[in-house]
Structure 1
Amino acid sequence: MYENSEGSRAAILDIHGGGWVQGDKAKEAGIATKFAEQGFLVVVPNYRLAPAAFYPAARDDVWEAYQWLKSSPFNFDHSKIGVFGGSAGGSLSVDVGLKDGIPAVSWSGIFDVIDWFSKHKDVVPVRNTELDTVSKSNEIDQGGKNDPYYKWFILNYVNQDESQFPGLEPFDRVTPKAGPIYLANSLEEIVPTTGVTMLEEALAKNDVPVFTQLITGGRHAEGYEDEAWLPTLNFFNQFLS
């Protein structure tokens, strides 16, 4: 937990990334501290990862962490909770925002699984062992797309079972009761921008406030923190004020 010594006006649930197959809450120390310095109480949970636990274990764990935060005794306005995440954490962030109508921020969230797989049938999934040692999201900058690794970690999350893909997609879960959402993605990174545009369209059709930011280069999630931090902070200040 991260908290400003002067107390907190609202809380943010900060969800780490790692493709649902790796990562740890310690990755979020930098960004969580920045949120706390702005007056937010910040809680960073761990959640079960594949292959120890497959979809929907991560989603279930994050939802449980959110419910715990809502009923926690911590000193903040319990009617004001937002959720933030990068990469797989961005997807999980949106899951919570859609389900309970709270403000959600996703940096490089993964949303277009069915469409992407249908257009990349010839891509052979390959594990990227270099990324296994990446301890911070802002160190992931492949300078371009990595379709084999993208395919590998998604398949590992669902235990190679593509029939699970509809459950991963957020589009059919968008309703007018969804919370406002901010989506960021760089243009040439491992996560394609198609998910952002598809989700943006679904939210707009349901009259849900949506803000998007597309960033040059191949940086991933907290790799483009310098560009996305201020818009993210402004978003939370607007909807958690």
Structure 2
Amino acid sequence: MTIALLDIAKEYHMGDSVVHALSGISLRVASGEFTSIMGPSGSGKSTLMNILGCLDRPSRGSYLLDGQEVARLNDDQLALTRNKKIGFVFQNFNLLPRMSALQNVALPIVYAGVGKQQRLERSEEALSMVGLADRKDHRPNELSGGQRQRVAIARALVNNPAIIMADEPTGNLDSRSGTEIMDIFTLLNQQGRTILLVTHEPEIAAYSRRVIHFKDGCMVKDERR
């Protein structure tokens, strides 16, 4: 198993009240799975993704990532785990506007201390994988929405992570660009990467072989295809 959650809960304290964002989630995701997480706004799916991606900690419960308990790692340990094992793709791309596509892709390996020449080679290779080698010197405002998301995918790939996590990756794209992006995720999964994707669109979830449904902080359905 790549991911194993046991009785994960996440609570937020708002004044005198407690918001239960996640309630007792137990879930296993095997290496190489393509899994979509669906649910309405406020269902807990993005909260779960933040915990899975080591961006947040659960209030209680166990999270094993490749056999390592990560629920109680400190901030530095979480950052190291994220950098080594997980690539992220977000709805809003999260690209730095003053940097070129190549420079944006290289950011994760700058933080990892990789030398300049190797950064250049790996970033160009990642852009080639998503069909944007000829746009490496373009800034985000010179690219279409679909191209910007492909840059974001290249950035997620540059450290060669085993897991790609995507939060509404087609939410800001037209249907044609969304199809192109999902074709890339499908190819990455066929190459052996584990894909975890949050979406509210059934046609996007249809690309995956497993769909987990959330409602009110609970996992209510687990479909395998």
Shared fold per TM-score greater than 0.5: no
TM range (shorter): 0.3 to 0.5
Structure-2-length-normalised TM-score: 0.33
Whose strand proportion is higher, 1 or 2?
Answer: 2
Q: Which one has a bigger Cα radius of gyration?
A: 2
* Higher RCO, Cα 8 Å, sep 6+: 2
